[in-house]
Chain A
Amino acid sequence: MIKKILIANRGEIAARIIRACKKQGIQTVAVYSEADQKAPYVFMADESFLLGPPRVVESYLNMEKILRIAKETNADAIHPGYGFLSENDQFEKKCTAAGIIFIGPTGDVMNKMGSKIAARAAMQEAGVPIVPGTDGVIDTAEDAVKVANEIGYPIMLKASAGGGGIGMQVVHTDDELIKAFAGNSKRAQTFFGDGAMFMEKKLDHARHIEIQILADQHGNVVHLFERECSIQRRNQKVVEEAPSTFISDQTRQKMGEAAINAVKTLGYTNAGTIEFLVDEQEQFYFLEMNTRIQVEHPVTEEITGMDIVEEQIHIANGKALTIEQGDLKIDGHAIEVRIYAEDPVTFFPSPGHITTFTKPIGERIRNEVAVTENYDVTPFYDPMIGKLIVKGSTRDEAIKQLIEALQQYKIEGIKTNIPMLLKVIDSDRFKAGDTTTAFVEEHYLPTV
């Protein structure tokens, strides 16, 4: 049984995991960089240890140091959160070799899903539809042009090891593709240590809809329905909701079954998410699998009543799932918005000192925050400083609630995307559920 967990992460997700541990009477160990010494999560944990300087290679990506702290504090398990080491198969292997439970899937499955090219092949094998595109790595810009003309423009050029929108670009012509190919490959090499590129057809008017799954070590798999995450800027999610306004019950069921099949074929365990693109005809295509907890997991928790982090720990403990698919029902509607420290018009980062920080409060309002008043937001990490989640018995109710909550939110000293979020949520198009991945680009005009 896991008695003590080291959280190899920072910010709101570290706080979220510590909360889940406290609920189960599990001891917690936090780790932090010099830039995060005053972060709220550092003070929530039972024990906290400095990893090193702010740069991620010297702190949150320092596997040896994290493992050493885990051993010295007698932690039984490590929760990697999202980002950082969460999808690093080598880290999972090192944890296991050190006799520490990694709360997540095995490194082998992670490795397969981490390469988007291998993931496409694996999904095809599991009978899950994939976006039309290349079967393997494209080596040169010349080859890329040849294949692009077979698939047809617009094309989404992607890095096999990519994530967070890095190494990814939409191209419409041969010229654009040639220019984009080298740059994105180089960027992927810099960020992920792997410059392999592939291409997918860019689907028009598509939506990003993902299925949350839970799989135990005994072969039981359930899905916790979908999240619609189409509203994105710079290929990163901004607004997420559950359930989707778009798909029918029949499609929901088909997507859920496809996700379960994929997970069973892979032999995947723990919590995971299969992301799909869904076109106007409700045809769905595999996009990628996230082998970890996701930023937007709270909306699923709100509509199902499940605690996904708690389930992750149960699964890591070797326990069987206590729920079956038939037990799960969608209750109400939940929406999450990500609060970013950035300019609401240009989306450029806005690090700095927070002088005022007042969160909205209400019965159906959930705050997951990484910062406090009188706090320095540093430029070293992702700009997300918090998440605001609301629940309503209907989507209309949730939207009304969210607008009020966003209006109550008061952050001074840095710029945030709150004005942008209000404009999006309070728009006719969002209210009508007309949300595609092109929403921000087509609809959000920089007039805030």
Chain B
Amino acid sequence: MEEIKASMAGSVWKITVSQGESVEEDQDIVILESMKMEIPIGAEEAGTVKEIKVAEGDFVNEGDVIAIIE
């Protein structure tokens, strides 16, 4: 199981996967917006999206869990 964490504080601009979807290594899970820049957050390993813990527009802090990949 892999927890996908926010690498910096920002708001969730786009969620690019859905629950149950299988993802590849490095595939973008969400795109954060911080300081007017879009920052893609990707999966470190391949797996299935077990849970997405944020919604578009949510504010996240650095280290917050965004999604869980199994």
Residues of chain A touching chain B, judged by Cβ–Cβ distance below 8 Å, are: 164, 234, 341-342, 348-352, 378-383
Contact = CB atoms under 8 A, between A and B. Distances in A.
B1 interface: no
Report the 3 A-B pairs with minimum CB-CB distance, sorted nearest first. A349-B35, A379-B34, A383-B35
Contacts of A380: 35
Q: How large is the interface on B (under 10, 10 to 19, 20 to 34, 35 or more residues)?
A: 10 to 19
Contacts of A352: 9, 62
Nearest to A376: B9
A351 B34 CA distance: 8
A351 B32 CA distance: 13
A382 B35 CA distance: 5
Nearest to A187: B38
Contacts of B9: 351-352, 378-379
Interface in B2-58: 7-11, 33-37, 39
A348 B36 contact: no
Contacts of A383: 35-37
A410 B57 CA distance: 34
Contacts of B35: 341-342, 349, 351, 379-383
14 contacts: A348-B8, A349-B10, A349-B34, A349-B35, A349-B37, A351-B8, A352-B9, A352-B62, A379-B9, A379-B10, A379-B11, A379-B33, A381-B36, A383-B37
A164 B37 contact: no
Contacts of B39: 348-349
Contacts of B10: 349, 351, 379
B8 A164 contact: no
A382 B36 contact: yes
A317 B6 CA distance: 49
B28 to A, nearest CB: 13
Judged by DSSP, the binding face of A is: loop
A234 B39 CA distance: 13
A378 B62 CA distance: 12
Interface centre among B35, B37, B62, by most A CB within 10 Å? B35
Interface of B: 7-11, 33-37, 39, 62
Residue picked from B7, B11, B34, most chain A C-beta under 10 Å: B34
B24 to A, nearest CB: 19
B15 to A, nearest CB: 15
A413 to B, nearest CB: 13
A54 to B, nearest CB: 9
Given A379-B11, A383-B37, 14 more contacts: A234-B37, A341-B35, A348-B7, A348-B8, A348-B37, A349-B34, A349-B37, A349-B39, A378-B9, A379-B8, A379-B10, A379-B33, A381-B36, A383-B36
A382 B34 CA distance: 9
Contacts of A382: 35-36
Contacts of B36: 164, 381-383
Contacts of A349: 8, 10, 34-35, 37, 39
A79 B7 CA distance: 36
A378 B59 CA distance: 11
A383 B36 CA distance: 8
A348 B41 CA distance: 12
Nearest to B14: A190
Nearest to B36: A382
Nearest to A166: B36
A342 B39 CA distance: 13
Nearest to A383: B35
Contacts of B11: 379
B19 to A, nearest CB: 25
A176 to B, nearest CB: 19
Contacts of A379: 8-11, 33-35
Nearest to B57: A55
Question: Which among A164, A348, A349, A350 has the greatest number of chain B C-beta atoms within 10 A?
Answer: A349
Contacts of A348: 7-8, 37, 39
A378 B10 CA distance: 8
Contacts of B8: 348-351, 379
A378 B11 CA distance: 11
